[in-house]
Amino acid sequence: MNKAFTKESDASDDDEDGPSLPPLPAGTKNYITPAGYAQLRAELLSLIDVERPKVVEIVHWAASNGDRSENGDYLYGKKRLREIDRRIRFLTKRLDIAEVADPSLHHGSDQIFFGATVTYANAKGEERTITIKGIDEADHLHGEVSWVAPIARALLKAREGDEVSLMTPGGVETLEVIEVKYPPAKDN
């Protein structure tokens, strides 16, 4: 069969956004901090202005070398372009629906809202500190959780000194809110 009539194996991935981040719960807003929004926007602009043009140039050069069916630079470049385009579409959609919420507006408050850094203790007295952030910016390796995570939902609207219940696989766990902090407002 002629190569022109066959479909590349990973071309079907072109319409999907891939396994990037979990979907937003239905009917909710995509809350994000100003820093998170700036980070996603910077990634989008970098993909559009820097990385994509480089890959297009490589693909163009590789295509001019002749036989594309066995040209690794061409095949890899086309695959990388699909990945970049998929990420650009994803970031564009997420930024379009983003609701920027500045946590510094709550500076000095002892009630937990989006953007709070919360220190809490479990029944054993073990303390843990987390920061509640948006789905697209939370990094659990740095103590950040998404505002839709069970721990964040349990803590939201509680105040310092309050006890909250968290449903875990092992049963209900009682947590005591020890400290609530917000970043200070930035002077312009």
Rounded to the nearest 5 degrees, what angle is found at the Cα of 92, between the Cα atoms of 88 and 96? 175
The domain boundary residue, chosen from 57, 80, 100: 100
Residue 14: inside a domain:
no
Q: Does residue 34 lie within any of the structural domains?
A: yes
Q: Token pair for residue 37?
A: 């929004």
CATH number for the domain spanning 35: value is 1.10.287.180
Which of 42, 73, 100 finishes a domain?
A: 100
Rounded (5°) CA angle 160-161-166: 90
Both tokens of residue 49?
């202005």
Note the pLDDT of residue 15: 43
The verdict on 75 and 136 lying in the same domain is no
Asked, for residue 186, whether it belongs to a domain, the answer is no
Helix (H) or strand (E) holding 7: none
pLDDT for res 11: 41
Given 62, 79, 100, the domain boundary residue is 100
Is residue 152 domain-shared with residue 131, that is, in the same domain?
yes
Q: Is 125 strand, coil or helix?
A: coil
Exposure class string for 36-73: b at 16+ Cβ within 10 A, else e: bbeebeeebeebeeebbeebeebbeebeeeeeeeebee
Query: Cα–Cα distance between 90 and 98 in angstroms, integer?
Result: 12
The pLDDT of residue 66 is 76
- CB of 159 closer than 8 Å to CB of 177: yes
Q: Supply the CATH number for residue 125's domain.
A: 3.10.50.30
Is there a single domain that holds both residue 71 and residue 130?
no
What is the domain extent for residue 157? Answer: 103-181
- Residue 126 is given by DSSP the state -
Q: Which residues, 6+ apart, have CB-to-CB distance to 13 below 8 Å?
A: 82, 86
Residue 112 sits in the same domain as residue 166: yes
The count of structural domains within the chain is: 2
Is there a single domain that holds both residue 109 and residue 96? no
Residue 1 located in a structural domain: no
Our separate counts of H helices and E strands in the chain read: 4, 7
pLDDT given at position 21: 57
Q: Going residue by residue through the chain (188 aa), what tens digit of pLDDT does each one get?
A: 455 544 444 444 444 444 455 667 766 778 999 999 999 999 999 999 999 999 999 888 888 887 777 788 888 999 999 999 999 999 999 999 999 999 999 988 899 999 999 999 998 989 999 999 999 999 999 999 999 999 999 999 999 999 999 998 989 999 999 999 999 887 65
